[in-house]
């Protein structure tokens, strides 16, 4: 009887162990199965920068300013053969628009109080670095007006002053010795004979002593 119980007890123990093992096997997850992990979506916070495009419009012309130290002429073109548009006083602000070399001389296209014209570099002091940065004026220019020659002044002959006529000396008639004569042209002769005043129209009257 004890052997039977002993054998039965072993079976019960084995069954209990098997049931325990089976229960543990169902409680644990199947490690062989592939588990899918949801990957969180990362949203970018960077802002896309716009691509810089090249501007099609041209940059404004470089302008400079200067002030003459003396009164200068603003002319209608780059040359002294162009007419004077106005005179610009010293310390007047002059806006320089462009530079041009004309006949080996530097001229500036300028603007003063809304008027545009030209000034020579010899009378408008501008730094060389500023002059090099200015745009070069290449526009076609009108020819300067042809100066009308002035007529030569007529020189009037100078009238000779009238020769003063010397009135003959009045000699009171008296008896005496001839000391000379007054000729008819007003001259005086020291001759007392017939040849007196022969080259002066003759004797007007004698001078007596």
Mapping DSSP onto H, E and C, the string for the chain reads CHHHHHHHHHHHHHHHHHHHHHHHHHHCCCCCCCCCCCCCCCCCCCCCCCCCCCCCCCCCCCCEEECCCCCEEEECCCCCCCCEEEEECCCCCEEEEEEEEECCEEEEEEEECCEEEEEECCCCCCCHHHHHHCCECCCCCCCCCCCCCCCCCCCCCCCCCCCCCCCCCCCCCCCCCEEEEEECCCCEECCCCCCCCCCCCCEEEEEEC
- Split at pLDDT 50, 70, 90, the class of 165 is low
Residue at which a domain ends, from 101, 118, 133: 133
200 assigned to some structural domain: yes
Among 118, 133, 148, which residue terminates a domain? Answer: 133
In a domain, 159, yes or no: no
Q: Is residue 22 part of a domain?
A: no
Q: Which residue has the higher pLDDT, 195 or 95?
A: 95
| Final residue in a domain of this structure, among 114, 133, 152 | 133
154 in a domain, yes or no?
no
Tens digits of residue pLDDT in 65-89: 999 989 999 999 999 999 999 999 9
Is 49 inside any structural domain? no
81 located within any domain: yes
Instruction: Indicate the pLDDT class of residue 56, thresholds 50, 70 and 90.
Output: very low
How many structural domains does the chain have? Answer: 2
What is the residue range of 87's domain? 64-133
Q: State the chain's mean pLDDT as an integer.
A: 75
CATH number of the domain that residue 90 is part of: 2.30.30.40
Q: Which pLDDT value is given to residue 74?
A: 96
Q: Is residue 82 assigned to a domain? A: yes
What average pLDDT does the segment 43-65 reach? 51
Exposed/middle/buried for 72, CB within 10 Å: 0-12, 13-18, 19+?
Answer: buried
pLDDT-based confidence at residue 97 (cuts at 50, 70, 90): very high
Task: Assess whether pLDDT exceeds 50 at residue 135.
Answer: yes
Domain assignment of residue 185, yes or no: yes
- What is the pTM (predicted TM-score) of this model? 0.43
């Amino acid at each position: 009887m004890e052997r039977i119980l002993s054998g039965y007890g072993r079976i019960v123990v084995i069954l209990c162990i098997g049931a325990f093992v089976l229960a543990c096997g169902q409680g644990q997850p199947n490690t062989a199965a592939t588990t899918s992990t949801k990957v969180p979506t990362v949203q970018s916070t960077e802002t896309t920068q716009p691509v810089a495009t090249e501007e099609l419009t041209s940059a404004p012309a470089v302008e400079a300013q200067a002030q003459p130290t003396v009164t200068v002429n603003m002319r209608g073109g780059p040359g002294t053969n162009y007419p004077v548009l106005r005179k610009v006083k010293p310390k007047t602000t002059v806006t320089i628009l462009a530079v041009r070399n004309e006949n080996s001389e530097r001229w500036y296209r300028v603007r003063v109080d809304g008027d545009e014209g030209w000034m020579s570099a010899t009378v408008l002091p501008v730094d060389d670095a500023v002059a090099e940065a200015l745009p070069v004026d290449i526009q076609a220019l009108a020819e300067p007006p042809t100066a009308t020659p002035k007529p030569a002044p007529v020189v009037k002959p100078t009238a000779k002053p009238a020769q003063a006529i010397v009135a003959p000396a009045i000699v009171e008639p008296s008896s005496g010795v001839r000391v000379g004569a007054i000729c008819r042209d007003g001259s005086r002769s020291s001759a007392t004979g017939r040849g007196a005043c022969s080259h002066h129209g003759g004797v007007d009257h004698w001078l007596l002593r």
